Structure 1
């Protein structure tokens, strides 16, 4: 026990651990809150497509500069993910395909292009030191103070935009046609949502990677949806659950160095979901089963009383 306490105290004073934990926490908050609206708009898979589609932008940014510049990588990932989101949304309007089919086409095409570009990067002189392979599955241990500041700014931007116009976002999420009827700038809100989602995906690639980023966008909001029926509480709870998953994942990776941080964050988030699925007072399976059992007993009792009165 004393060794564990000493290890935790040592981690607390370790700057690298603080950067990893802070970055994971900020990413969890941003992904949980913006992912809530993606879930309500039934666009949960859009985040998955954008995270995979960001890979070509990362590789192109390196090929242009022949070095791994964080701002250039962020810009390249944002442009690539934004282009994928635009094509995914507009493709069903251009040709006769369903939205889920459009997402699948964009996801596989952009991800395939990204893998090809990573192969090209590996053949360059600086390819061996690029470290771009970490964007596939994430490498949160490589986060530095500059990365954490960028994640903090994105999380703060998401929080301010969503809270400042919460009523408008609420109307837009549940009934876009009504929002347009009452004069809300729905096109501007569509664009703002796409920008916030793109930025969140772009800053999260280094921490959890393109493969696992979609889980961080979907799982905390879905867990919060199981626990409450109010949108404001859902947003706060989703952000808190995302932050909790980030902290627990970073802590577990630090205590067990051979385990990667990104997958631990996703596993923690998934564990919270399964607990909510079972124990949630609103929609938990155990609570619903108990209610059905109770109602069946009440029905049997009333049926028995009715038969006695009839006799």
Structure 2
């Protein structure tokens, strides 16, 4: 607890620099990463991250100084050039984008390693610390770095706000944007520039190797929680900021632990939790939904079966044994028992000494399932001209997902039919 209060008091100037720098880095890159993620260009961030290394080295060679603004300018130039090369290769050849990214990434990174090696063997005393651009060293951030981070982060956020509508349209419907007269190519270059800025601002903290994770992981995690872009941008920024603070705190309490990798590790853990627990889209929610759907299908199949048996004898209250039901439809006995018990608890079926039969409420629900099945069979034969002996399997699937609105539309389209393709009455 003592370390906790010492850290969050921000009395130490180094703690302030590292924490604020990490938050600015993570939040701003997460916002830009949302647009990159939605455009399905996640690997672009990785290519840019590796391509900035030769720019950093060239800036140092030409200037002879490690001024963060000069190094960031060099990184920006080569990072932006790498994206231009990717677009040029994909537009002027048959090489696909993922292959072009791999080519550009390896070539630029190889050049950067050669330049970095040459600098390290040059005997220039000022070159110490350049290798931190490879793996990052957030704990060494100083006031000058924080100013550079702040300027770039503000530029990124302001650009995102000003061009929010245009960037949104570019991500979701590029053809429509072009039809409306938007300068699509200019917007692509703008997003490219923002992506490069986001990568450049983060390499000093997490390095070229891990920067792609900072760009894409918060966006991917936020996407699981919402379908609205403004909420996604806010969630991604908050997740990124939290990972920045948490990574700095871990590095403070355990000085041997590097800040950058911990930031990436924490945002990755947040992403894994989002993939698993997010309502609606997470793994757990998907498993629950699948189980619920399987249960619903089983219940409706049992209702339909009991209705068919009652329809044959025109007596829906006549009981039928479990074995009779299993003979009519191939359902595992254990599942059939569980499904019937659930129908009983819901008031759709009841059990007597002779067996199972529908209640009045169950008869109405079973009648609707049968009606939907026969309506869909009739629709397929009349409108898609399928043979009547080829429509049963499709109707078995679709009967469970037809909404009341679609049911009414089917009735109207088919002119409120009385018989299905097999001359069975539509209830």
TM-score after normalising by structure 1:
0.95
More helix by percentage: 1
Label 1:290 to 1:60 Cα distance change in 2 as closer, same or farther (>3 A). same
Match of 1:8 in 2: 7
Match of 2:424 in 1: none
| Distance in 2 separating the partners of 1:127 and 1:133 | 13
Are 1:238 and 2:239 matched, yes or no? Answer: no
Kindly report which structure 2 residues correspond to 1:157-176, keeping only aligned pairs within 5 A, or say none. Answer: 157-176=155-174
**How far did residue 49 of structure 1 move?**
0.4
Are 1:260 and 2:247 matched, yes or no? Answer: no
**How far did residue 129 of structure 1 move?**
4.3
**How far did residue 130 of structure 1 move?**
2.6
Match of 2:296 in 1: 298
Are 1:103 and 2:101 matched, yes or no? Answer: yes
Greater relative CO, 1 or 2 (CA 8 Å, sep 6+): 1
Q: Select between 206-215 and 69-78 the one with higher mean Cα deviation.
A: 69-78
Name which of 27, 38, 51 aligns with 2:25.
27
Match of 1:275 in 2: 273
Unaligned runs of 5+ in 2: 310-427
Match of 1:119 in 2: 117
| Distance in 1 separating the partners of 2:128 and 2:63 | 11
Name which of 208, 211, 233 aligns with 2:206.
208
| Distance in 2 separating the partners of 1:23 and 1:209 | 14
| Distance in 1 separating the partners of 2:307 and 2:77 | 74
Label 1:74 to 1:264 Cα distance change in 2 as closer, same or farther (>3 A). same
| Distance in 1 separating the partners of 2:208 and 2:5 | 35
| Distance in 1 separating the partners of 2:149 and 2:4 | 29
**How far did residue 31 of structure 1 move?**
0.8
Q: Which has the larger radius of gyration?
A: 2
Classify the secondary structure of the residue corresponding to 2:40. Answer: coil
Kept after mapping to 1: 8 A contact 2:167/2:191: no
| Distance in 1 separating the partners of 2:93 and 2:184 | 24
Two-structure CA RMSD over aligned residues (Å)? 1.5
| Distance in 1 separating the partners of 2:25 and 2:165 | 24
TM-score after normalising by structure 2:
0.70
Kept after mapping to 1: 8 A contact 2:66/2:126: no
Kindly report which structure 2 residues correspond to 1:176-195, keeping only aligned pairs within 5 A, or say none. Answer: 176-195=174-193
**How far did residue 198 of structure 1 move?**
1.3
Classify the secondary structure of the residue corresponding to 1:16. Answer: helix
- After superposition, give the CA deviation of every residue in 1:41-90 in whole Å (9 maximum; x if it has no partner): 11111111011000001111111222312121111101111111110111
| Distance in 2 separating the partners of 1:251 and 1:94 | 48
**How far did residue 6 of structure 1 move?**
4.7
| Distance in 2 separating the partners of 1:31 and 1:52 | 16
Match of 1:196 in 2: 194
Kept after mapping to 1: 8 A contact 2:222/2:232: yes
**How far did residue 305 of structure 1 move?**
2.2
| Distance in 2 separating the partners of 1:230 and 1:139 | 35
Q: Select between 59-68 and 112-121 the one with higher mean Cα deviation.
A: 59-68
| Distance in 2 separating the partners of 1:210 and 1:40 | 22
Unaligned runs of 5+ in 1: none
Aligned length: 309
Match of 2:391 in 1: none
- After superposition, give the CA deviation of every residue in 1:229-284 in whole Å (9 maximum; x if it has no partner): 11111111111111111111111111111010110000011001110111001210
- After superposition, give the CA deviation of every residue in 1:9-31 in whole Å (9 maximum; x if it has no partner): 5x621110111110110111111
| Distance in 1 separating the partners of 2:288 and 2:176 | 38
Kept after mapping to 2: 8 A contact 1:47/1:201: yes
Classify the secondary structure of the residue corresponding to 2:224. Answer: helix
Kept after mapping to 2: 8 A contact 1:67/1:126: no
